[in-house]
Amino acid sequence: MHPAPERGLEICPRRLAGSALLWYNHPSPRKTRIGSHGAPSPPFLLTVVSAMPDRKSLGEVLQQYGRVSPEEQEAALAYQRSHGGYFGEALVALGMISPEELEFGLAAQFNLPYVFPDADSIDLDAAELVSPEWALANLTLPIARSGETLSVIVDSPIKPVMVQELEARTGLEIELAIASPSKIRELIRHVFGGEGDDEEGGLRPAASVDDFLDEALASGASRFGVSLRARTVMGWWEERGRMNRRHLTSGWPGAMDRRLSPGLNAVPGDAGEVRDAELEWGGTVLPVRLRRVVSDSGEELLLDLRTSPAEPASFDPPPTSILDEVRLLARSGAGRFVVRTRPETLASEILPHLPRILLGPHVRAVHLREENNGAGGLFALGVPSSEEEMLQLLTRLQPFRMEAITADLPSWTPALLAAMGRSGGAVFVRIPDSLRDPAFGWRLEIFAEDGGRLRWQVRHASSERPGS
């Protein structure tokens, strides 16, 4: 049995912006209101948010709630001595607790509430006391103001410098609450407009097959298709990690046959069958691969553009959350990214394509590298051999106001990196780990996993430890 909730927690039946409200009693006399819409219910959530009289170690807190044993604590300490980092991180690395349980344990250890704020209940005036890049870098967001007190959510209670900075900047008393890193990132994107205006997955007005194909191809999509269910026909395409859908008007098979050679009848209704075909678009012919599944209850048609040496390379797109954060940072002027990949050879392959992948197919970008080769539709410039000439090249590029620059130079110097950081737009560079510049405060990590999938991550340089 899980421990019964302690006193100090009340469920308030009123609702704000469609979210239930939880009122947490703190040692201070006033109550803090936060939304709880869609919140998970970990076993000891209710006990965590109540005050603990004395500060205990994290291990003692987790042992109190039956999450770890003394033997597991000893094993975690041994892991920490060998690998560095924090005790809680060692527990997670060894699989003894989940990341969520670590967050709950830290909240209990520091007598802080663990909260699930609803996006619509955030006080925008309070949130905008900080910049989006500061919020993302620190995973910290003000969510409400009451008199001279500012309620702030953080991913970790061990952030004294951040608290001091906020107090000095706002002149307000800071009251902390803990939230998960993913929740804080979601709220930052919501508050500062990083998320797209259109609801992801939303259906657009009905269109003809010709309009559907033209829109999908103009967006830069390399995969699109048609889904038939009963009397509903829907065209879809993937665009920079988002799924777009359009209802299709009647007569779609005939219209598709006019654009495809050979037509649909040449493609068997077996998911394992693949046929090469050609798709007419804007007076040109595009090579595609067709797959088709047909049953009594519906039909699926899939078209993949075949990549030729003259076409852009195709990479697994990042999730929408990564796209939103990169674009948010680019718009705020803080989009300076050091790119790291695993394997390392992936960096030279994907770096020139990052502006298209992350910022859109029509972004004005330039790639700087040794060879002046723009294969794959890229605009590339060969770089001069001397530092002085390279600095002059960057100066000459500034009036063109490029939206993005990628650079993979044979050699880097602090002066070159500093000049690159002053360039306009978003900048993506591949540099040695030993070279650092404060302008490049973000790390874009892309790791190839089994099956060819890519794992993407954006994090601030302040989250790195020495030697990482």
For the chain, domains (ranges, CATH) are 9-191 (3.30.300.160), 203-305 (3.30.450.90), 320-463 (3.40.50)
Say if CB 358 and CB 382 are below 8 A apart: no
Q: What is the DSSP string of 50-82?
A: S--SS---HHHHHHHTTS--HHHHHHHHHHHHH
How would residue 317 be classed by pLDDT, with cut points 50, 70 and 90? confident
How would residue 196 be classed by pLDDT, with cut points 50, 70 and 90? very low
**What are 296's two structure tokens?**
């009594």
CA angle 185, 200, 336 (to 5 degrees): 45
CA angle 459, 463, 468 (to 5 degrees): 100
The string of pLDDT tens digits covering residues 238-265 is 765 567 888 888 888 888 888 998 887 7
Residue 70 CB neighbours (<10 A): 10
Tracing tokens 């291990």 back to the chain, one arrives at 59
pTM for this model (two decimals): 0.58
**What are 12's two structure tokens?**
């308030």
Q: How many Å apart are CA 435 and CA 205, to the nearest integer?
A: 51
- The residue among 237 and 310 whose pLDDT is bigger is 237
Report the pLDDT value the prediction gives residue 268, as an integer from 0 to 100.
67
Tracing tokens 């591949």 back to the chain, one arrives at 430
Say if CB 292 and CB 429 are below 8 A apart: no
The string of pLDDT tens digits covering residues 64-112 is 888 899 999 999 999 999 988 889 889 989 999 888 888 888 888 888 8
Tracing tokens 């410098």 back to the chain, one arrives at 161
